[in-house]
Each structure stands twice: as structure tokens, then as C-alpha cells.
Structure 1
Amino acid sequence: MGGVPTKHHSRGKTRRRRSHLALVSPKLIACPNCKMPALPHRACANCGKYVKKARTKKEVSV
């Protein structure tokens, strides 16, 4: 036999429980070097710089 709920949960109770499941958008800042959106405290995905220092080498394709 399958499980059957023993008590009825009201809409308010269900929605109050689910209120913490909302997604949050990432907080983006403008990269000081290339002005593209980037996550704070991380190297820029576009230019690879973090606090005006090159952290990754940009691959150049010919």
C-alpha cells in the first residue's frame, strides 16, 4: 500500500513552507578592466583579471 497523508495541509501552511525555495539572482558587478558583468571576489570570465592582476592566461585562437 502506498503512503496516504493523514492530515490535510492548508494552502497557507504549504506556501509558508515553500517560501524559502525561491531562487535568488546572482549579484553581478562590472569588471574594472573590461566592464563586463562578473561575480564579485572572482576573476573575470571575459578578461581573466582580478584586482587588476592577470590570474589566467587568455588563449588566442588563430
Structure 2
Amino acid sequence: MAVPKRKSSKARRDKRRNNVWKLDMPAFSKCPQCGELKTPHRVCGNCGYYKGKEIIKKEA
């Protein structure tokens, strides 16, 4: 069985581990109705449309 020659420092260990746990920033796409940025596969918070249909009634 492989055994490490020297003890890995806490800094080296944490440097190796920290990249795994980073969360990706959510992608954004433009709403075809109003052009506002929104997350994909979600109802637009600005106009209330999803896939060309009005889902949430918004007062203008």
C-alpha cells in the first residue's frame, strides 16, 4: 500500500480541497418577451412569461 513520504501541511491539503466545493454561478439567458436576464427554465420575474405563455399576471 502506498504511504506518503511526508505529512501534507494543512495549507496544501486545503488548497487541494477548496476547488471541489466551489459553486458555479447560475447561467442567465434573455427573456424573449421583455429582454430581461433570467435563469433558464424559470418564469421571468419581470414580465411573468415562460415559453411564450403568460404564467403570472403582472400589472403594467
Partner of 2:14: 14
- Please name the residue that 2:27 is paired with: 27
Report the TM-score when normalising by structure 1: 0.71
Instruction: After TM superposition, list the pairs within 5 Å mapping 1:1-62 onto structure 2.
Output: 9-59=9-59
RMSD value over aligned CA atoms?
1.9
- Identity of matched residues, %: 37
Runs (5+) with no aligned partner, structure 1: 1-6
Report how many aligned residue pairs link the two structures: 54
Residue 14 of structure 1 and its aligned partner are, at CA, apart by 1.4
CA separation in 1, counterparts of 2:8 and 2:52? 58
Q: Which amino acid aligns with 1:35?
A: G
In the alignment, the residues of structure 1 paired with residue 47 and residue 14 of structure 2 have an alpha-carbon distance, to the nearest angstrom, of 46
Gaps in structure 2 of 5+ consecutive residues: 1-6
Aligned to 1:3: none
